[in-house]
Structure formats: C-alpha cells, structure tokens
Amino acid sequence: MRQSIWSNDRDGFSLIEILVSVSLLSLVLMGLSGATALGLSQMANARQDLQYSADVQQVTDSLIAKGYQNVTSGSATIRGRSMAWTITTVNAKSQKIALVAQRRGLADASIMYADTITVFLADPKVQ
C-alpha cells in the first residue's frame, strides 16, 4: 500500500521543538560567555597581583643584597609603582627595613593601598 505525501505520519521536528532547543542552546551559550568574561577578569587581577609581588620582591632582594649597615633609607618607582623604605636600628647587631609599597585596588582602581613589608638585617658576625 502506498502512502500519500499528505499523510499524518511526519518525520522531523516541529516548530515548537526547534524553538525550545534553540532557546536552551542560547541560554547555555550566554552562561559560557559570562563565565569566560569572569575568567578573563580574574586572570587580569592575578597578573596585577603577580607583578606587584615581583616588584616588591625585586626591591626587597636588592636591599638585602646590600647587606647589614650598607642600606640607607630611600625610595624607588618600579613600573609606575612607588615604594619607599626606612631603616631603623633595632640594636647593635640588627636593622629593621620597613618597605611601604603602593598598589591599586582590584575592585576600584582609583583607590590606592599601602602595604608595609618588614625585613630584618643582622650582623653576619653575631655570636
């Protein structure tokens, strides 16, 4: 028996099924794009934090490399970031370096924060 092309047995998808699937697909893609934007933002923040840590470490290492009683108070600017340090004599055999580093806020870049890093230098001939 032959079937007519006008029979009720249809293959394929209805318009409603296609609209539902396209809607679901667009929701999934919007979620993925939001997650991607958040990930890129977090990567930029992590890069700023890493640069800040590297700048502070560079200045700290250079002060430590000068050695006990060879460091004087001063300041420097690295990649636009200002840093200043003061030297205090704790006792006859040690010195305290207070390094103040400026950094921008992550949530609001117009806010500047000052972090203080403290390092102690000692006379290598301490008995």
Mean local confidence (pLDDT), 49-72: 92
How do residues 99-124 score in pLDDT, each as one tens digit?
A: 999 988 877 878 889 999 999 998 88
* Confidence check: pLDDT of 30 > 70: yes
Residue 2: pLDDT above 80?
no
SS (H, E, C) 35-78: HHHHHHHHHHHHHHHHHHHHHHHHHHHHHHHHCCCCCCCEEEEE
Which two three-digit tokens encode residue 36? 């991607």
pLDDT for the residue 109: 79
Mean predicted lDDT score pLDDT of the chain: 88
Query: What mean pLDDT do residues 45-58 have?
Result: 91
- Domain positions in the chain are 15-122
pLDDT at 3: 58
Q: Given pLDDT bands bounded at 50, 70 and 90, which one contains residue 8? A: low
| Burial class (CB within 10 angstroms; exposed 0-12, middle 13-18, buried 19+) of 78 | middle
Section 61-88 average pLDDT:
91
The pLDDT of 21-43, averaged and rounded, is: 95
Band (85; pLDDT cuts 50, 70, 90): very high
